[in-house]
C-alpha cells in the first residue's frame, strides 16, 4: 500500500479511502496484505486522465 501511495504521491490513508469507497485500482489480498498488479495500477491511472481541456488563463 505504501509503494502505491508513494508512486501516486498521496498519503497511504488516501489509498485506503479509495479502496473502501471502490475508487482505487483492483487489489489482491494475501492474508491481511493487499498487493496491486502494476498492470492494474497503470490501467487505473489511465482511467483517471482528465479529459477536460484546461481553462483559458486569459494571461499574456
pLDDT category at 52 given cuts 50, 70, 90 is confident
Question: What gap in Å lies between CA 3 and CA 35, rounded to an integer?
Answer: 10
Strand 28-30 to strand 33-35: parallel, antiparallel, or no bridges (unpaired)? antiparallel
Measure the CA–CA gap between 17 and 11, rounded to whole angstroms.
10
User: How does residue 43 score in pLDDT terms, banded at 50, 70 and 90?
Assistant: very high
pTM over 0.85: no
- The overall average pLDDT reported for the chain is 91
DSSP 28: E
Contact status, residue 40 vs residue 29, Cβ threshold 8 Å: no
Is 70 exceeded by the pLDDT of residue 30?
yes
Amino acid at each position: 500500500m505504501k509503494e502505491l501511495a508513494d508512486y501516486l504521491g498521496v498519503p497511504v490513508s488516501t489509498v485506503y479511502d479509495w479502496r473502501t469507497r471502490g475508487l482505487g485500482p483492483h487489489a489482491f489480498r494475501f492474508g491481511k496484505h493487499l498487493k496491486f498488479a502494476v498492470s492494474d495500477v497503470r490501467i487505473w491511472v489511465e482511467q483517471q486522465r482528465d479529459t477536460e481541456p484546461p481553462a483559458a488563463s486569459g494571461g499574456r
